[in-house]
Structure 1
Amino acid sequence: MERTCYSVQIFGVYTGRKRAKRIKAMENDKDAMRSYKFRVYPGKTQEKELRHHLWVSKELWNEMLAFTKEIYRHHGKFPTTVSLREFVRNSGLS
Protein backbone atom coordinates (compact mmCIF):
# COMPACT_ATOMS: atom_id res chain seq x y z
CA MET A 1 0.00 0.00 0.00
CA GLU A 2 1.39 3.38 -0.99
CA ARG A 3 1.45 6.08 1.66
CA THR A 4 0.61 9.67 0.84
CA CYS A 5 3.50 12.07 1.23
CA TYR A 6 2.93 15.74 2.02
CA SER A 7 5.70 18.27 1.54
CA VAL A 8 5.71 21.00 4.16
CA GLN A 9 7.77 24.16 3.73
CA ILE A 10 8.32 26.48 6.67
CA PHE A 11 9.61 30.02 6.17
CA GLY A 12 11.32 32.15 8.75
CA VAL A 13 13.28 35.34 8.92
CA TYR A 14 16.86 35.01 10.07
CA THR A 15 18.14 38.10 11.82
CA GLY A 16 21.65 37.54 13.03
CA ARG A 17 25.02 39.17 12.94
CA LYS A 18 26.66 36.07 11.51
CA ARG A 19 25.42 35.26 8.05
CA ALA A 20 25.99 32.17 5.99
CA LYS A 21 28.40 32.52 3.08
CA ARG A 22 25.63 32.01 0.55
CA ILE A 23 23.69 34.89 2.10
CA LYS A 24 26.73 37.16 2.19
CA ALA A 25 25.88 38.52 -1.27
CA MET A 26 22.89 40.24 0.30
CA GLU A 27 25.03 42.55 2.42
CA ASN A 28 22.64 45.48 2.20
CA ASP A 29 19.75 43.45 3.61
CA LYS A 30 19.56 43.11 7.37
CA ASP A 31 17.16 40.20 7.24
CA ALA A 32 17.46 37.03 5.21
CA MET A 33 14.75 34.49 4.54
CA ARG A 34 15.37 30.83 5.31
CA SER A 35 13.12 27.94 4.49
CA TYR A 36 13.03 24.37 5.72
CA LYS A 37 11.37 21.52 3.84
CA PHE A 38 10.00 18.40 5.49
CA ARG A 39 8.24 15.33 4.21
CA VAL A 40 5.37 14.10 6.29
CA TYR A 41 3.94 10.58 6.13
CA PRO A 42 0.73 10.73 8.18
CA GLY A 43 -1.32 7.77 9.29
CA LYS A 44 -4.97 7.39 8.23
CA THR A 45 -6.34 9.36 11.18
CA GLN A 46 -3.73 12.08 10.85
CA GLU A 47 -4.37 12.34 7.10
CA LYS A 48 -8.10 12.71 7.73
CA GLU A 49 -7.44 15.52 10.23
CA LEU A 50 -4.94 17.16 7.87
CA ARG A 51 -7.44 17.10 5.01
CA HIS A 52 -10.11 18.58 7.31
CA HIS A 53 -7.80 21.40 8.42
CA LEU A 54 -6.88 22.15 4.80
CA TRP A 55 -10.57 22.23 3.85
CA VAL A 56 -11.39 24.60 6.73
CA SER A 57 -8.48 26.85 5.75
CA LYS A 58 -9.65 26.95 2.13
CA GLU A 59 -13.25 27.73 3.08
CA LEU A 60 -12.23 30.42 5.55
CA TRP A 61 -9.89 32.01 2.98
CA ASN A 62 -12.64 32.08 0.34
CA GLU A 63 -15.20 33.55 2.76
CA MET A 64 -12.74 36.22 3.92
CA LEU A 65 -11.93 37.09 0.30
CA ALA A 66 -15.63 37.49 -0.54
CA PHE A 67 -16.12 39.59 2.63
CA THR A 68 -13.16 41.81 1.73
CA LYS A 69 -14.42 42.32 -1.83
CA GLU A 70 -17.91 43.18 -0.57
CA ILE A 71 -16.62 45.73 1.96
CA TYR A 72 -14.39 47.31 -0.69
CA ARG A 73 -17.22 47.46 -3.23
CA HIS A 74 -19.61 49.19 -0.80
CA HIS A 75 -17.21 51.46 1.12
CA GLY A 76 -14.19 51.89 -1.16
CA LYS A 77 -11.88 50.74 1.66
CA PHE A 78 -10.47 47.43 2.73
CA PRO A 79 -11.69 45.99 6.05
CA THR A 80 -9.59 46.54 9.15
CA THR A 81 -7.74 43.78 10.95
CA VAL A 82 -10.24 44.03 13.81
CA SER A 83 -13.22 43.53 11.49
CA LEU A 84 -11.51 40.56 9.82
CA ARG A 85 -10.81 38.96 13.20
CA GLU A 86 -14.45 39.48 14.18
CA PHE A 87 -15.52 37.92 10.88
CA VAL A 88 -13.35 34.86 11.56
CA ARG A 89 -14.78 34.46 15.08
CA ASN A 90 -18.35 34.63 13.75
CA SER A 91 -17.74 32.43 10.70
CA GLY A 92 -18.15 29.17 12.58
CA LEU A 93 -15.14 27.67 10.79
CA SER A 94 -12.37 28.56 13.22
Structure 2
Amino acid sequence: MPPQAFEQATAVRVDFAPGASSTTHQHPGHVFVVVLSGEVESALDGQPAQRFRAGQAWYESPGQLHRVARNASSSEPASLVAWLLSDGKQQLVQPVHLKK
Protein backbone atom coordinates (compact mmCIF):
# COMPACT_ATOMS: atom_id res chain seq x y z
CA MET A 1 0.00 0.00 0.00
CA PRO A 2 1.55 3.36 -1.00
CA PRO A 3 1.95 6.04 1.68
CA GLN A 4 -0.83 8.62 1.93
CA ALA A 5 -0.12 11.88 0.08
CA PHE A 6 -0.48 15.05 2.12
CA GLU A 7 -0.86 17.98 -0.25
CA GLN A 8 -1.81 20.73 2.16
CA ALA A 9 -0.18 22.20 5.27
CA THR A 10 -2.26 24.40 7.57
CA ALA A 11 -0.97 26.35 10.56
CA VAL A 12 -3.51 26.95 13.33
CA ARG A 13 -3.03 29.03 16.47
CA VAL A 14 -4.99 27.79 19.50
CA ASP A 15 -5.46 30.12 22.46
CA PHE A 16 -6.62 28.53 25.71
CA ALA A 17 -8.23 30.69 28.37
CA PRO A 18 -7.24 29.77 31.95
CA GLY A 19 -8.55 26.26 32.66
CA ALA A 20 -9.92 25.78 29.11
CA SER A 21 -9.71 22.49 27.22
CA SER A 22 -10.60 21.01 23.84
CA THR A 23 -12.83 18.03 23.17
CA THR A 24 -11.44 14.58 22.38
CA HIS A 25 -10.46 14.53 18.70
CA GLN A 26 -8.14 13.23 16.00
CA HIS A 27 -6.59 14.57 12.80
CA PRO A 28 -6.40 12.85 9.39
CA GLY A 29 -2.73 13.73 8.85
CA HIS A 30 0.50 14.39 10.70
CA VAL A 31 0.41 17.15 13.33
CA PHE A 32 3.35 19.10 14.74
CA VAL A 33 2.62 21.30 17.79
CA VAL A 34 4.71 23.97 19.55
CA VAL A 35 3.60 25.74 22.73
CA LEU A 36 3.96 29.51 22.34
CA SER A 37 3.12 30.60 25.88
CA GLY A 38 1.93 29.16 29.16
CA GLU A 39 1.68 25.42 29.82
CA VAL A 40 -0.46 22.93 27.91
CA GLU A 41 -1.35 19.44 29.06
CA SER A 42 -1.71 16.86 26.28
CA ALA A 43 -2.58 13.15 26.31
CA LEU A 44 -2.50 10.97 23.20
CA ASP A 45 -4.10 7.53 22.88
CA GLY A 46 -3.84 5.67 26.22
CA GLN A 47 -0.75 7.55 27.39
CA PRO A 48 -0.72 9.67 30.56
CA ALA A 49 -1.02 13.43 30.14
CA GLN A 50 2.22 15.37 29.72
CA ARG A 51 2.86 19.06 30.35
CA PHE A 52 4.52 21.18 27.68
CA ARG A 53 5.90 24.68 28.37
CA ALA A 54 6.58 27.52 25.93
CA GLY A 55 9.08 26.35 23.31
CA GLN A 56 8.37 22.64 23.83
CA ALA A 57 6.71 20.52 21.13
CA TRP A 58 4.98 17.23 20.39
CA TYR A 59 3.95 15.19 17.35
CA GLU A 60 0.70 13.36 16.55
CA SER A 61 0.44 10.54 14.02
CA PRO A 62 -2.44 10.49 11.51
CA GLY A 63 -5.63 9.30 13.23
CA GLN A 64 -4.04 9.26 16.69
CA LEU A 65 -6.60 9.85 19.45
CA HIS A 66 -6.00 13.16 21.23
CA ARG A 67 -7.84 12.58 24.52
CA VAL A 68 -6.70 15.68 26.42
CA ALA A 69 -5.59 19.13 25.31
CA ARG A 70 -5.96 21.78 27.98
CA ASN A 71 -4.44 24.77 29.64
CA ALA A 72 -2.56 23.49 32.68
CA SER A 73 -3.15 26.77 34.53
CA SER A 74 -6.39 27.99 36.09
CA SER A 75 -5.11 31.60 36.19
CA GLU A 76 -2.90 32.21 33.11
CA PRO A 77 -3.70 31.85 29.38
CA ALA A 78 -1.79 29.44 27.11
CA SER A 79 -1.23 29.37 23.34
CA LEU A 80 0.10 26.89 20.83
CA VAL A 81 0.53 26.63 17.09
CA ALA A 82 -0.20 23.38 15.27
CA TRP A 83 0.86 22.51 11.74
CA LEU A 84 -1.60 20.01 10.25
CA LEU A 85 -0.85 18.06 7.09
CA SER A 86 -3.84 16.89 5.05
CA ASP A 87 -5.11 15.85 1.66
CA GLY A 88 -7.12 19.11 1.58
CA LYS A 89 -10.44 17.24 1.50
CA GLN A 90 -10.99 15.95 5.03
CA GLN A 91 -11.97 17.96 8.09
CA LEU A 92 -8.73 18.91 9.92
CA VAL A 93 -10.14 18.34 13.42
CA GLN A 94 -12.41 15.33 13.75
CA PRO A 95 -14.32 15.10 17.07
CA VAL A 96 -14.37 11.68 18.73
CA HIS A 97 -17.13 10.69 21.14
CA LEU A 98 -15.85 8.16 23.66
CA LYS A 99 -18.19 5.63 25.24
CA LYS A 100 -18.39 5.86 29.01
| TM-score (ref. length: structure 2) | 0.24
| TM-score (ref. length: structure 1) | 0.25
Work out which structure has the larger RCO, using CA pairs closer than 8 Å and 6 or more positions apart in sequence: 2
